[in-house]
Amino acid sequence: MTLRDNVTTAANTIGSLARESARIAADKNLASSDRAQAFRTIIAKEVGQTWMRPSKAFERDFGLENLYLKFEGDNPTGTQKDRIAFAQVAEALENGQNDVALATCGNYGVAVALACQLAGLNCHIFLPAGYHSDRLHEMEALGGKIYRPDGTYETVVAHSSLRAADEGWYNANPGGKNAQLQIEAYSGIGKELIADLGEAPATCAVPVSNGTLLAGIHHGTKAAGSTRYVAGSSTAKNPIVYSFRRGLTECVDLDPAKMKETRINEPLINWHSFDGQEALNALHASKGAAYNISDERMRKMTSYLANKEALRVLPASTAGLISLLRMHEEGVLGEGKHVAILTAKR
């Protein structure tokens, strides 16, 4: 299948001030600790600290006050994935490893490929054979070595993890031992929300796929106040939303045969969410909410943001925002400052 819902306008690069740090990070004649320290400097300069602003348009058009849009498209490859990709590559450097492996359907592969290029590491990217990503040429241009095994994304994660173990490569896939590292990386978003708002938001709405993003932001805000979390994903195609809406306390897998990707929903759907339990726990702990969002509504929201907010975002990145708007329409949103995470630029 052709996946066209991927970032098309990312620079895939870093600023001139970070280039000297990249030269040190990629120098294999230096100690791993020195290279890792230089790479951490790149992260501090280039990854995160994305902008957030209040939306006047939603107040005018929908009567939704105190809505803030947090835009992760500011990251080097245009999505929130840079936060976890750079964290994984930093750990690989600290461990003295030269090769990094991962499975992807697009955006994460570009993020890891850029991080590996800057760190002087080899990047092994596994993309399901049945998928075609418009970002494939970017992964190759950044030095990634591409593998095309058969199977779904979830089965290719398992395949690439086994290959990494056999070859002695660093495994940058979601879940397992990487869950805590990735949750901690995404917790930076929660900390930025508190710093920018001066308090924890009353509500934070997040698009969910594997669940790592929502779990991470919750981790970053839970010590500062009571934030209600809202998950949005493609209709009947995400285990987190499915499980929460049925009142389940355990995140259950869906039937892979019933998963149907489209050019809009692909970044959201899973039959297995690798950090789904952590995200589901956050929804229950915060007395949150979860919504199924149609492709059509995501497409319309993308057009609305382009016209009213001068924002070019991927349709899938609007699933949380639409969920927040639905809560407002249903009269269950409540008062306070509300944040919607927009995960990727177009």
Q: Give tens-digit pLDDT for 236-257.
A: 999 999 999 999 999 999 999 8
Quote the pLDDT of residue 12: 77
Dihedrals φ, ψ of 96, to 5°?
75, 25
Q: Check: CB of residue 293 under 8 Å from CB of residue 319.
A: yes
Residue 314 has pLDDT above 50, yes or no: yes
pLDDT tens readout for residues 143-158: 999 999 999 889 999 9
The per-residue pLDDT for range 125-182, each reduced to its tens digit, is 999 988 777 888 999 999 999 999 999 889 999 999 999 999 999 999 999 999 999 9
pLDDT tier at 9 (50, 70, 90 boundaries)? low
Question: Phi-psi bin for 137: left (phi > 0), alpha (psi -120 to 50), beta?
Answer: alpha
pLDDT at 209 over 70: yes
pLDDT at 263: 81
* 187, two tokens: 């917790």
> Taking 70 as the threshold, does the pLDDT of residue 10 lie above it?
no
How far is residue 324's CA from residue 246's CA, in Å, rounded to a whole number? 19
pLDDT over 80 (residue 280): yes
Maximum distance among all Cα pairs of the chain, rounded to whole angstroms: 61
Question: What integer is the mean pLDDT of 277-304?
Answer: 97
Q: Between the CA atoms of 139, 50, 230 and 280, what dihedral angle is there, to the nearest 10 degrees?
A: 60
Average pLDDT over residues 27-45: 95
- Which of 265, 285, 287, 269 has its CA nearest to residue 277? 285
Whole-number Å distance between alpha carbons of 292 and 312: 22
With tokens 């900390």, the residue in question is: 191
Q: How far apart (Å, rounded) are the C-alpha atoms in residues 203 and 308?
A: 22
CA distance 103 to 330: 39
Q: What is the 3-state secondary structure (H, E, C) of 7-59?
A: CCCCCCCCCHHHHHHHHHHCCCCCCHHHHHHHHHHHHHHHCCCCCEEECHHHH
**Structure tokens that stand for 290 in this block:** 């979860």
Which pTM value belongs to this model?
0.93
- Please report which residue ranges of the chain form alpha helices under DSSP H: 16-25, 32-46, 56-62, 81-94, 107-119, 136-141, 153-167, 179-197, 212-221, 239-245, 276-285, 295-308, 319-330
Q: Hey, what domains does the chain have and what are their CATH numbers?
A: 2-44+80-176 (3.40.50.1100), 49-78+179-342 (3.40.50.1100)
With 90 as the cut, is the pLDDT of residue 8 above it?
no
What local confidence, expressed as pLDDT, does residue 250 receive? 98
User: Does 192 or 223 have the greater pLDDT score?
Assistant: 192
The helix/strand/coil state of 284 is helix
What is the model's pLDDT at position 3? 45
Question: Looking at residues 202-214, what average pLDDT do you find?
Answer: 97
What are the b/e assignments for 27-66, b being 16+ CB within 10 Å?
eeeeeeeebbbbbbbbbeebbbebebeebebbeeeeebeb
Contacts of 94 (CB under 8 A, 6+ apart): 32, 33, 36
> Given a cut of 80, is residue 301 above it in pLDDT?
yes
pLDDT in tens, 49-96: 999 999 999 999 999 999 999 999 999 999 999 999 999 999 999 999
CA distance 282 to 249: 11
Residue 112, pLDDT above cutoff 50: yes
The pairing of beta strand 52-54 with beta strand 67-71: antiparallel
- What is the structure's pLDDT at 2? 44
